Structure 1
Amino acid sequence: MSEKIVDIAKIVSPDLIKLNLVGTSKKDVIDELSDLLKRDNDIDNKQVFVKDVFKRETEGETGIGQGVAIPHGKSPAVKNTTIAIGLSDHPIPWETLDDKPVTAVILFAVRDQDASTLHLKLLQQVAILLSDDEFINKLHHAKTKGSVIQLLCNE
């Protein structure tokens, strides 16, 4: 099987991006982004999905530093493996590697069947992007959904 690069543009739609998160806690934000996934028909049971995300949160920090968190839920409630992205103009308390709050949250929703392959490729690609300080800076300053998608697609 060949190494297939995941086309992030096909996975991220403007409907899954929120530029002005309202939530002020990790729970609020995960809830808010899960609403987008539910509305977009990527998950069929929000309660189950959110529970699975929080189960994963207990296994280790998803706040990777520099104001970014990448929570993820591998869940039977997920119909389409995708990511929802939320940006905030206020700091959100989160367990992070640098002990600072976050203002950008990338929530992974992963179908059980995709857990090993697609999920890892997607995480890998996002991780590569997030290792670039310039990318993180641009993400924090993105003003439109289009600019967020463009950022993700311009590896």
Structure 2
Amino acid sequence: MGKAAFNNLRNNLAKKSVTDNYESGGIFYGDNLIEIKGKKDEHSIPITLYDKINGLMHNHVKAGYSILSYSDIIAISQIYTQGLMMSPQGFFFGVTTHQKTNYLLTIENVSLFSTYADKIVKGISPGLPYEFLYEGLVNNNNSVQQNLNGFLNYL
């Protein structure tokens, strides 16, 4: 994957996060970028992966989170536990938001992430402690800085 393709997608998503009423994104398969798009007025992009990927980026539109949502955390965890990361050490998950924030997550310690991802995937049902904890720290009523601090505290 080229740096130019990555930057072009990020810049395009940043513009769309302000103008569109649906989430957009891209899945990186090696050097190939597959664009993805959610449904109007929904804050999600349903995807099905059939092969290992290098990374994924998407945007959060107006009324969306200023940082990763708990659904994003679940998605990263599922991609890992289903063996769909080309290389966990090189994998990235990015989000750009209408609040003009950009975040890019990578995995530094695969062993620790593996333990974490397993716990998340086993507790996907709504209302479980991890989701309650996350929503208490990160939510749409918070400022951008409060959500960043909440996200870091959650991690």
Q: TM-score, length-normalised on structure 1?
A: 0.35
Decide which structure has the larger Cα Rg and report it: 2
| TM, length-normalised to structure 2 | 0.35
